[in-house]
Amino acid sequence: MTTYSDKIKEISKRLLKEGKVDLVIGFRKGSVPLMNQPMFAKNEGDVDSFVWDSNCGINLANYVTDRSEKIGIVAKGCDSRNLVVHIIENKIKRDQLHIIGVPCKAMVDRHKIAAMMPGEIESIEENEADGTLTVTGSGFSETLNKAGVLQENCALCMHRNPVLYDELIAEEVTEQNPEEVDQYAAVREVENMAPEEKWAYFDSLFSECIRCYACRNACPLCYCPTCFVDESKPQWVGKSVDPADVRTFHFLRAYHCAGRCTDCGACVRSCPVGINVRALTKKLEKDCLENFDWKSGLTLDKRPPLDTFRPDDPEEFIK
């Protein structure tokens, strides 16, 4: 990954020097291991803190919303899809962006790794040659196989290469074969439950939720000036951790992402208590694919399904 980091630094320096962009958005090492932070580099000196490794799971498209500068942005597959969504939704102009495409080699799941370790993790080293990670903390050091601890959405990802970019930092990686990866196994499992079982499943899924709204803040789609949870006249949803309120929040947030979610996994990654928020968004993604033949963020030329009408839209649910 050092080659990736070096290349990102090199390109960012060049862009800033030539004055092509006002700032470059990328990642730097986080203050805690496994959590790289977004960083805005406004001059060449800042650029040296840029890194790229397997902990860059946050979606950088989140930070371009409504900005007026010329922006260079480091984008892996899902980030680039979310940039497309942003452009379609007029949240940023295409010519404001200089997209530095990163063929993504998948991110690791910090919750999974944390659960495997006996104590607090202090550092993580990546060995790209043999695909292993060495996790160390006070009194322990373990070597893991990276493939075993990928984020679930990365393991299922079909668009590791950016769909929209101005330059790539490396050769494209090979995409997974859609026939070999069962995208919706988890969704189907829930679909096959009886209503009571489903209710109970989501009750236990959300029982940990502390309503910190990290999932909302990390999500590139959640850019409403006032989120429905913050509205108070009328107040749609209570602010407590009452199961009904928590459920309403997650339901409506997920629904707002229908036909827009690219399954980048930023919500799950940012969750401090490790809730699999994707249980809802993945279902919507599946529905959009089945009902409207739609995958979000792949092209600039098509309007999203919930914003257009087609005579052949499914309407079995209407009496």
Partner 1 sequence: MKNLMEHMGLDPGRLHFSWISSAESTKFVDVAKKVTAEVKALESKEKKFVKTKPKVA
Partner 2 sequence: MAEKEPKILSFLCNWCSYGAADLAGVSRMEYPSNIRVIRIPCTGRMSVKFILAAFRQGADAVWVSG
List residues near partner 2 by CB under 8 A.
228, 234, 236-237, 244, 248, 251-252, 255
CB atoms within 10 A of CB 193: 12
Question: Quick check: 28 and 35 in contact, CB under 8 A?
Answer: no
Q: Which tokens go with 201? A: 């499943």
Residue 245 three-state SS: helix
Shortest CB 84 distance to partner 1, Å: 24
CB atoms within 10 A of CB 114: 16
The DSSP annotation for 30-76 comes to -SSTT-PEEEEE-STTGGGGB--STT--S-GGGG-TT--S-EEEEE-
Phi, psi for residue 4 in degrees, rounded to 5: -60, -50
Cβ closest to partner 1, residue 134 vs residue 235: 235
Out of 46, 245, 263, 285, which residue is the one contacting partner 1 (CB under 8 A)? Answer: 245
Cβ closest to partner 1, residue 140 vs residue 255: 255
Determine, following the binding rule CB under 8 A, whether residue 53 of this chain makes contact with partner 1.
no
Question: Quick check: 76 and 104 in contact, CB under 8 A?
Answer: yes
Q: Which does 140 bind (CB under 5 to 8 A by kind): partner 2, partner 1, none?
A: none
Mask 170-209, x = binds partner 1 (CB under 8 A)? --------------------xx-x-xxxxxxxx-------
Shortest CB 288 distance to partner 2, Å: 16
Determine, following the binding rule CB under 8 A, whether residue 233 of this chain makes contact with partner 1.
no
Determine, following the binding rule CB under 8 A, whether residue 240 of this chain makes contact with partner 1.
yes
Shortest CB 17 distance to partner 2, Å: 48
Cβ closest to partner 1, residue 28 vs residue 247: 247
- The H or E element containing residue 97 is strand 97-101
Q: Which tokens go with 90? A: 């007029």
Q: How many residues bind partner 1 (CB under 8 A)?
A: 30
At residue 182's C-alpha, the angle toward residues 107 and 154, to 5°, is: 10
Out of 251, 276, 289, 298, which residue is the one contacting partner 1 (CB under 8 A)? Answer: 251
Cβ closest to partner 1, residue 122 vs residue 189: 189
Q: Which does 6 bind (CB under 5 to 8 A by kind): partner 1, partner 2, none?
A: none
Q: Which does 199 bind (CB under 5 to 8 A by kind): partner 2, partner 1, none?
A: partner 1
Residue 24's contacts (CB-CB under 8 Å, 6 or more residues apart) are: 12, 15, 16, 40, 41, 47, 50, 71, 72, 73, 74, 100
Give the interface with partner 1 as residue ranges (CB under 8 A). Answer: 190-191, 193, 195-202, 238, 240, 242-245, 247-248, 251, 254-255, 258, 280, 283-284, 287, 317-319
